[in-house]
Amino acid sequence: MNLLPILSSALLLATGILLVLNAQTRPIQAAGFVIAFIFFLLPVTDMSVANYASVLMGDLSPVSLALLAIFVHGRLTGQKPRDGYTQDIHRLQMLISLVVIFLYPTALGFSPVDIYSFGYHPVVLTPLLLALFCLSVYRGWYYLATLIALAWISFQLGILDSNNLWDYLLDPFLAIWCLLHLKRAWRLPSSVAIQEGLLFVVATFLTFAVIHSRVNPDAFSKSFIIEDGFLEYATVGIILAGLVLCIQRVVTLRHVRHIRFLTVTTMLALVCLFGAGEEVSWGQRIFGIQSPEYFLNHNLQQETGLHNLAFEVNGRTISVNKLVFGTGLALGLIIYLFIITPLYRTRPRIAYWLDCMAVPMPRNYHIIGYLLIILTVELLVDSTRRGEVTEFTGVIIFLLNLWFPYNEHIYNKDDLLDRDSSRYNSNQ
């Protein structure tokens, strides 16, 4: 019999008694907590109060248990956690609140994608957790890193009856507590933290893609890059984030930028909309829409979309995906990175023209990211469907390129871009 749920319930109930005794002295609080904890474990008829409570509440996650233990220890000893604890707890509250907003509705069937199911075979959830763990360690968020490690180790040891990783990360009580404190905990992450976090996601997913494709190809094809899986919908979400960013810039800068600037930004928004629509076949699979006859005859997957179209030309099958979105996109990226970018950085007149046209120029790490993704996927990922990995990690770099470009100043509404070209002659 697993005693952990019963002990967890007793701890939670005894913590409630501790809160009731808040105004009492510390010895009285300690005595009340111990007595309550023991009492809730004593059998009443055939089961204890804690046993009844565990049936009603379910298992508490290791994260909840750790937080309860920290709280009780602080209350009974008077010792405050070390510096950084409060900030890390606020980050935890933000993360869990954002997760549960999507997790529980999808688990209840309000979405075609069940995010909760990803926890049973966490080949996708694991690299996300690893990325967050690495970011936490890198930025000195040690309490958050410890809680992530605790949840993962507990999952590997199977200390709960559940075999779903989500149950080791959170539970309804923790979710409610985080949501109630979201307003106080809410802090927009710094631009540096966002960039570092997304880069860790790229690095971990590339690493796991290489490992799974070679060591466990079955998991790679059936869980990691599965159709209508996490990678596909996450790719759509990232592209839509780019769409929202472009729209926000058009709205914010509509009175201070030239029409050509706003036009190019609008075109980038349309590109994002097109990319997101193509990725999910314009909602065909989500809403169960039958493809028109034209796409049934000319689309390789018989879906509503342009990138999988194929045509017969002189007895040869021409794939739009390979021609436009493969060769064409690769050629465009080469021109953008290795011709336009050097000209931007060395020719002031070209830099001024590109800035006025709202062209987001890549930083050095964007260039390295694009190249690293292509080389890693093409040379190390052993799968015919490795393009899904390229799409997911590539759009992350694209979003970073769009969000934090080398010429980020052009999106500052106080910047006199169209009326001040002298700085280009002096600064470049």
- DSSP characters over 253-270: HTTTS-HHHHHHHHHHHH
- All residues at 6 or more sequence positions from 150 whose CB lies less than 8 Å from its CB, including other chains: 62, 63, 66
pLDDT in tens, the chain (428 residues): 567 888 888 999 999 999 898 878 889 999 999 999 999 888 877 788 888 888 877 889 999 999 999 999 988 888 888 878 999 999 999 999 999 998 988 888 777 778 898 899 899 999 999 999 999 999 999 999 999 999 999 999 999 989 999 999 999 999 999 999 999 999 989 999 999 999 999 999 999 999 999 998 888 888 888 877 888 889 999 999 999 999 999 999 999 999 999 999 999 999 999 998 888 777 776 666 776 766 656 666 656 666 666 666 666 766 666 666 678 888 999 999 999 999 999 999 999 999 999 999 999 999 999 999 999 999 999 888 888 899 999 999 999 999 999 999 999 988 877 666 666 765 54
Residue 26 structural domain:
1-58
Q: Classify residue 41: in a domain, yes or no.
A: yes
Angle 166-167-169 (CA atoms, 0-180°, nearest 5)? 65
Contact 157, 149 (CB under 8 A): no
Q: Classify residue 49: in a domain, yes or no.
A: yes
Q: Classify residue 385: in a domain, yes or no.
A: no
Q: How many domains does the chain have?
A: 1
Q: Classify residue 234: in a domain, yes or no.
A: no
Q: Classify residue 261: in a domain, yes or no.
A: no
Q: Classify residue 8: in a domain, yes or no.
A: yes
In whole angstroms, give the CA distance from residue 424 to residue 426.
5
In whole angstroms, give the CA distance from residue 280 to residue 229.
11
Q: Classify residue 340: in a domain, yes or no.
A: no
Q: Classify residue 2: in a domain, yes or no.
A: yes
Predicted structure pTM score:
0.88
